[in-house]
C-alpha cells in the first residue's frame, strides 16, 4: 500500500496540471482567437470554441504520453452522442465494398422512385462518424423525401490519404449500381459533402463522369468544401487565419497528417515554393487572388506567390497538385460536364475563396450554380443544427440544402 503523502502529492500535482492546462487554453483563446463581428450568441460561441480547444489540447497531451492519439481521443468525445430516433425514417446499417454505410429511407410509401443522396461528412479526416451525423442525415432524408446513403469512411491516424477517399468512391459506386434496389430514381441522385467530405464529393463526381456503366449524378451540394491545396495565400486564408473552428494553422496540421508530410515542409506549402513556374502559369488563371471579387479581398495586401521554386519541396509535395486532391484544377473539358451545384461558403472561413474560385470556374463553363455565402456562420456549424450549441446559421444552411434538393 502506497504511503498517504505521496498519493496526496500526486493528486495535488494532477489538479495543478488540469488547472494549468485549462487556464493556458483559456488564455490562448482570449489572445489569439478572432471572433467574427457578425456571429450571434458570442458568449456561447466562445464557450464552444474553448471546449473545442481544450479537447484538442488534452488529446495532444495524451498523444505525447503515448496513451491515446489525439484523433481517437477527440472522436471518443465527439461521437459520444445520443442518437435521436426519427420515427419517420427507416435506418439500416450496411457494408458496401467493406465500407460501413448507413441507409436512411423515408417510412412513408411512395408511388414513384425517390431521389437519392450520397452524404459524406466533414471533420478533416480526423473527426465525425455515422453516429455523430445520424440526426442530420435522418432529417435530410425525411425533409427531402429522399433515400440517403451516409458513408463511414476510414480516418486518421491509422488511415491517411487515400484510404478515406477510396472508401467514399467505392461506397458511392456500389450505391449507384444498386439504386433501383433501394427505390431510387437513377436520374435524380445528388452527392453532398461537408468540408473534407465536400472535397471527396467533388472528386468522386469527376471520377465517375461519363462512365457508361453508372447513372450520372444529377447535382452536387458542397458545404464549405476544401477544393484545392495549392494556393494558401488567398484573401480568405489571410483574413480568417485565426477564426474558429478551422484556423489556417489547424488546417495545415490536418493536411500534413492526412498526407504523411513532415512538418518541416509547412512553409513551402504555405508559400507555394514547391510549385514549378510553368505549372503556376497554367493554374494562375483558376487560382489567382485576382479572381476573387474585390469586396472579399480588397483589405488584404497580397504577398508574393508563389515563392521562388524549390525542387526538393516539389519532389516531396507534388501530390498536392493532383486533381484527386485539388478538384478545382481539373481540365476545362471536365469542369464543363459537371452537374448543377449548390455551393455554401462561410464569409469568415479560410476556405471561403475556394468556393468563390470553384463558382467562377463552373459559371464560366455554363454550369448552373446556386450560391449561399453565410455571413453569420463558422466552419463546421452544420454539425450543431439540432444541439444545445446550435446557431441560426445552422438552420440557414440546412434550409438551403433542403430547398435545393427538393427542386431536383
Indicate if the pLDDT at residue 91 is higher than 50: yes
Work out the average pLDDT over 350-365.
97
Q: Supply the pLDDT for residue 87.
A: 87
Classify strands 99-106 and 89-96 as parallel, antiparallel or unpaired: antiparallel
Domain boundary among 78, 93, 127: 78
| Catalytic residue from among 138, 195, 236, 289 | 195
Of the candidates 167, 165, 101, the residue with the CA atom closest to the CA atom of residue 130: 101
Task: Quote the percentage of the chain above a pLDDT of 70.
Answer: 96
Q: Supply the pLDDT for residue 1.
A: 46
pLDDT bin (cut points 50, 70, 90) of residue 2 is very low
Work out the average pLDDT over 230-259.
93
- Which pTM value belongs to this model? 0.93
Q: Say if 178 falls within a structural domain.
A: no
3-class secondary-structure state, position 257: helix
Question: CA geometry: angle at 321 spanning 295 and 192, to 5°?
Answer: 65
Q: Say if 286 falls within a structural domain.
A: yes
Instruction: Please enumerate, as own/partner, the contacts of 307-316 that have beta carbons within 8 Å and a separation of 24 or more.
Output: 307/271, 307/272, 307/273, 308/273, 309/273, 309/274, 309/275, 309/276, 309/277, 310/268, 310/273, 310/274, 313/265, 313/268, 313/273, 313/274, 314/274, 314/275, 314/276, 316/261, 316/262, 316/265, 316/268, 316/274
Q: Supply the pLDDT for residue 362.
A: 98
pLDDT bin (cut points 50, 70, 90) of residue 121 is very high
Q: Say if 336 falls within a structural domain.
A: no
Question: CA geometry: angle at 124 spanning 219 and 121, to 5°?
Answer: 40
Q: Say if 404 falls within a structural domain.
A: no
Q: Say if 66 falls within a structural domain.
A: yes
Work out the average pLDDT over 375-388.
89
| Grid cell of 1 as nine digits | 500500500
Q: Supply the pLDDT for residue 10.
A: 67
Domain boundary among 28, 45, 78: 78
| Catalytic residue from among 185, 349, 353, 376 | 349
pLDDT bin (cut points 50, 70, 90) of residue 86 is confident
241: domain range? Answer: 235-320
Q: Say if 106 falls within a structural domain.
A: no
Q: Say if 110 falls within a structural domain.
A: no
Q: Which of 84-88, 103-107, 132-136, 336-340 has the lowest mean pLDDT?
A: 84-88
Residue 141 vs residue 388, higher pLDDT: 141
Maximum alpha-carbon separation in the chain: 77
Q: Say if 74 falls within a structural domain.
A: yes
Tell me whether residue 49 is one of the annotated catalytic residues.
no
Distance between CA 204 and CA 217 in Å, rounded?
Answer: 10
Tally of structural domains, the chain: 2
Tell me whether residue 93 is one of the annotated catalytic residues.
no
Gyration radius (Cα) of the chain, Å: 22
Tell me whether residue 379 is one of the annotated catalytic residues.
yes
Distance between CA 26 and CA 23 in Å, rounded?
Answer: 5
Q: Tell me the DSSP string of 77-117.
A: HHT--PPPP-TTEEEEEEEETTEEEEEEEESS--SSPEEEE
| Catalytic residue from among 121, 237, 347, 379 | 379
Indicate if the pLDDT at residue 83 is higher than 90: no
Q: Supply the pLDDT for residue 13.
A: 74
Indicate if the pLDDT at residue 367 is higher than 50: yes
pLDDT bin (cut points 50, 70, 90) of residue 260 is very high
Domain boundary among 263, 297, 320: 320
pLDDT bin (cut points 50, 70, 90) of residue 4 is very low
Amino acid at each position: 500500500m502506497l504511503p498517504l503523502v505521496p498519493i496526496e502529492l500526486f493528486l495535488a500535482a494532477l489538479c495543478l496540471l488540469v488547472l494549468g492546462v485549462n487556464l493556458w487554453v483559456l488564455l490562448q483563446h482570449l489572445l489569439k482567437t478572432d471572433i467574427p463581428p457578425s456571429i450571434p450568441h458570442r458568449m456561447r460561441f466562445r464557450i464552444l470554441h474553448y471546449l473545442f480547444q481544450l479537447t484538442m489540447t488534452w488529446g495532444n497531451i495524451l498523444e505525447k504520453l503515448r496513451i491515446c492519439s489525439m484523433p481517437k481521443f477527440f472522436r471518443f468525445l465527439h461521437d459520444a452522442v445520443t442518437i435521436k430516433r426519427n420515427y419517420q425514417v427507416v435506418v439500416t446499417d450496411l457494408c458496401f465494398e467493406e465500407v460501413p454505410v448507413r441507409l436512411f429511407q423515408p417510412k412513408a410509401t411512395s408511388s414513384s422512385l425517390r431521389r437519392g443522396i450520397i452524404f459524406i461528412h466533414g471533420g478533416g479526416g480526423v473527426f465525425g462518424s455515422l453516429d455523430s451525423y445520424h440526426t442530420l442525415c435522418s432529417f435530410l432524408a425525411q425533409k427531402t423525401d429522399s433515400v440517403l446513403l451516409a458513408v463511414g469512411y476510414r480516418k486518421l491516424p491509422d488511415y491517411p490519404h487515400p484510404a478515406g477517399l477510396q472508401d467514399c468512391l467505392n461506397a458511392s459506386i456500389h450505391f449507384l449500381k444498386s439504386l433501383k434496389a433501394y427505390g431510387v430514381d437513377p436520374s435524380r441522385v445528388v452527392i453532398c459533402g461537408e468540408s473534407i467530405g465536400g472535397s471527396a464529393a467533388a472528386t468522386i463526381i469527376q471520377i465517375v463522369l461519363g462512365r457508361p456503366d453508372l447513372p450520372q449524378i444529377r447535382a452536387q451540394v458542397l458545404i464549405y468544401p476544401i477544393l484545392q491545396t495549392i494556393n494558401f495565400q488567398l484573401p480568405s486564408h489571410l483574413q480568417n487565419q485565426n477564426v474558429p473552428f478551422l484556423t489556417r494553422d489547424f488546417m495545415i496540421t490536418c493536411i500534413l497528417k492526412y498526407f504523411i508530410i513532415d512538418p518541416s515542409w509547412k512553409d513551402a506549402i504555405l508559400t507555394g515554393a514547391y510549385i514549378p513556374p510553368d505549372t503556376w502559369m497554367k493554374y494562375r488563371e483558376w487560382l489567382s487572388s485576382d479572381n476573387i471579387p474585390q469586396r472579399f479581398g480588397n483589405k488584404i495586401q497580397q504577398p508574393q506567390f508563389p515563392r521562388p521554386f524549390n525542387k526538393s519541396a516539389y519532389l516531396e509535395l507534388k501530390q498536392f497538385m493532383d486533381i484527386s486532391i485539388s478538384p478545382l484544377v481539373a481540365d476545362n473539358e471536365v469542369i464543363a460536364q459537371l452537374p448543377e451545384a449548390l455551393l455554401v461558403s462561410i464569409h469568415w472561413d479560410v476556405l471561403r475563396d475556394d468556393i468563390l474560385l470553384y463558382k467562377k470556374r463552373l459559371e464560366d463553363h455554363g454550369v448552373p450554380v446556386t450560391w449561399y455565402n453565410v455571413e453569420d456562420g463558422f466552419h463546421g456549424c452544420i454539425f450543431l443544427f439540432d444541439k444545445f450549441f446550435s446557431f441560426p446559421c445552422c438552420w440557414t444552411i440546412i434550409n438551403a440544402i433542403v430547398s435545393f434538393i427538393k427542386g431536383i
